[in-house]
Amino acid sequence: MDVQTLTYLFVGVSFALYIGIAIWSKVGSTREFYIAGGGVHPVVNGMATAADWMSAASFISMTGLIAFLGYDGSVYLMGWTGGYVLLALLLAPYLRKFGKFTVPDFIGDRYYSKSARLVAILCLIIISFTYVAGQMRGVGIVFSRFLEIEIEMGVLTGMAIVFMYAVLGGMKGITYTQVAQYCVLIFAYTVPAIFISMLVTGNPVPQLGLGSEVADTGKTVLETLDTVLVDLGFNAYTEGTKSTIDIFAITAALMVGTAGLPHVIVRFFTVPKVSDARVSAGWALVFIALLYTTAPAVGAFARINFINEVNETSYAETPAWFKNWENLGLIGWADKNGDGKVQYRAGAPFEGTPSFEEDKRGPHGERVVVNTATPSANEVYVDRDIMVLANPEIAKLPDWVFALVAAGSLAAALSTAAGLLLVISSSVSHDLFKMTLMPEITDKQELLYARLAAAIAIGVAGYLGINPPGFVAEVVALAFGLAAASLFPAILMGIFSRKMNREGAIAGMISGLFFTVGYITYFKFMNPDLNTAANWFFGISPEGIGTLGMVVNFIVAYGVMKLTKSPPQEVGELIESIRIPSGAGAGHHH
């Protein structure tokens, strides 16, 4: 069978499985729709959490970023894994004990105020949409390459499938679908990695392959990359260009943002007991580490293979994968020196974004990169989101591996998109309608609103996927910054501070959110030309500004708390009851 047929087969079988699970687990109550009835086994929940957690950003983009950023790309690894540990140890068990399964529910009750709940709903919806736009973009890229359709059509196809199982099955459908998706995505990520590690270094374990010697050269993978890249005018792969403070800020924003991410917190309510929440958190970490420890190796191998295959090759002899991605507009080449060869060097191949015109082909048949006004010797434009997908082709692996990666990358994007859409729909139906605007609606009506909200959210997400603000991983990094600056401090102070009152929490969330959104909008959308280290506050980039937003949130909350009256007595008792495990201290009263 050819690649096309195999891809349709693998993707088709995996989709049939997801939709079958959704039909099998169709829900009848809001409890099943929101938290799968609360009866999921901890190991199963660990797998589902891992799938929910590892989005298209982990599967597709993170490796691409590591491949091109080298050392600087490590912030994503540290931030995302560290944040998961923070969430599992610091927040999840307490929120679970509190027994509210949405973040606005917790914030509304803990700060005894409808306004606080509304602010939390606003933050949550902004974060979730920023995040889901990145997922939809990933789905579009994958579909367009593997099914050979336009990116727009790809996004629409993805929307239809997520709609099927998120709206039918709710959390119950999503949980069991995510277990299937985890199995697909981890297999799809590690199989090519093992193959490529064998080819490049002869070591079958990619994590070890990263430190092994490249076959026949006597140099390790990283030494080879450093030498090759410095020769081409790039920075050494193992040296960073970002300042220490920016690395710190981005890592912290990703960590803390992770701990405030609504769709992962919800996962801890789907298990029967509080102790199960801790166990499933541990399992999830094991499942996540499988992919995260493999990523740096995959990124490094991808960069080596890319340079070996393309650089100084005459265009006529470039491999088929180069032309495939070129036809989708995700790779572009302009022959600046007229020698008919592809030169890959440091520096921008063009200004702004590449624009490819259908009929405009260069003398060698290449897609021309327009706007080549930037004086640099580089002739190649590569979209970072394609590295994982192109890897099997670049390394000349068998066709079925290629088809497997297609199924895996879709599993990664769809599982997270579904989890996020559920969070959006539950915060609209449960927190906005049931708890705030229309308290008298029945369980059945609430379920209907939840499904309607999910449908509308899919529409908005699809639009954002077709007109995306930036690379997948960058968009996702911004979502994490927003979560860090708005929700995390309110949750943390809600659990660990008896004195924090509603005025303080509301003022903190609003100031943190506005500060972060304003900073990002200013540098990313209004004045992108000024987006350089010289102009940033304290040298912190928009990706890391959530950390400063969080500090603003804490300071404002504390200041306002000092000036307003302290929370009522019962709130203090409520916090004591969350913090002290049941049964503690009972042995002393003889």
Cut 0.85: pTM above it: no
DSSP letters, 111-122, are TT-HHHHHHHHH
What phi and psi, each to the nearest 5 degrees, are found at residue 213?
-85, 145
Q: What is the pLDDT, as a whole number, of residue 588? A: 44
The pLDDT tens digits for 532-589 are 767 778 888 878 888 999 999 999 999 999 888 888 887 777 777 777 655 444 444 4
The DSSP secondary-structure symbol of 220 reads B
Q: What is the pLDDT, as a whole number, of residue 507? A: 92
Q: What is the pLDDT, as a whole number, of residue 586? A: 42
Q: What is the pLDDT, as a whole number, of residue 232? A: 62
What is the CB neighbour count within 10 angstroms for residue 529? 8
H-helix or E-strand spanning residue 329? none
Instruction: Answer yes or no: are the C-beta atoms of 149 and 143 closer than 8 Å.
Output: yes
Collapsing DSSP states into helix, strand and coil, what is residue 319? Answer: coil
What phi and psi, each to the nearest 5 degrees, are found at residue 56?
-60, -25
Residue 468: closest CA among 362, 353, 557, 341: 353
What phi and psi, each to the nearest 5 degrees, are found at residue 217?
-115, -25
Dihedral in degrees, nearest 10, Cα atoms 203, 205, 210, 215: 10
Measured between alpha carbons, how far is 446 from 274 in angstroms, rounded to an integer?
27
Instruction: Answer yes or no: are the C-beta atoms of 299 and 67 closer than 8 Å.
Output: yes
**What is the chain's Cα-based Rg?**
24
**Helix runs in 25-150, H state only:** 30-35, 42-53, 56, 62-69, 74-86, 92-98, 103-110, 114-146
Q: What is the pLDDT, as a whole number, of residue 456? A: 84
Residue 461: closest CA among 499, 413, 508: 413
Q: What is the pLDDT, as a whole number, of residue 558? A: 92
Q: What is the pLDDT, as a whole number, of residue 549? A: 92
DSSP letters, 40-56, are --HHHHHHHHHHHHS-H
What phi and psi, each to the nearest 5 degrees, are found at residue 382?
-125, 125
**Hey, what amino acid is at 513?**
L
Cα of first residue to Cα of last residue in the chain, in angstroms, is 76
The DSSP secondary-structure symbol of 361 reads B
Domains of the chain: 3-302+397-468 (1.10.4160), 331-382 (no CATH)
Measured between alpha carbons, how far is 107 from 130 in angstroms, rounded to an integer?
21
Residue 264: closest CA among 391, 91, 445: 91
Measured between alpha carbons, how far is 565 from 506 in angstroms, rounded to an integer?
14
Q: What is the pLDDT, as a whole number, of residue 474? A: 64
* Residue that is written with structure tokens 């997908």 in the block: 389
Q: Show the low-confidence residues of the chain (pLDDT under 70).
A: 25-39, 56-57, 100-101, 165-173, 215-218, 231-240, 338, 347-377, 468-475, 528, 533, 580-590
